[in-house]
Amino acid sequence: MKMRTGLSYRTRDGRIAGPVLARGGHSHPWEGRVEGLEEIQYWTDDGLLFASGELHNLDLVGSVRGSAGKAIDQMTLDDYRRGVARLRSAF
């Protein structure tokens, strides 16, 4: 996964993290907030919370697309249909 400034990502446990920001060349160059947590989290270029490669629930596993961050009353019919289609394919 290629990390990009300003995008939001989904964590391994399903939360939304971001938008992420590039901090500079340390072992954890990306920072952002995760829903439900107050403190800022830091990730490697691969989206891992731990540089050791050990898996964690807050690892970033994919970018959030479409209606992420929109209030439910601001979603379009297409946003809704994409969400329902994604749910159906998950079962």
Q: What is the pLDDT of residues 24-37, one digit of tens each?
A: 668 889 999 999 99
**Could you give the 3-state DSSP secondary structure of residue 71?**
coil
Q: What is the pLDDT of residues 69-79, one digit of tens each?
A: 555 555 566 66
**0.85 surpassed by pTM:** no
CB atoms within 10 A of CB 49: 20
**Using only C-alpha atoms, what is the Rg of the chain?**
14
Mean pLDDT of 40-64: 92
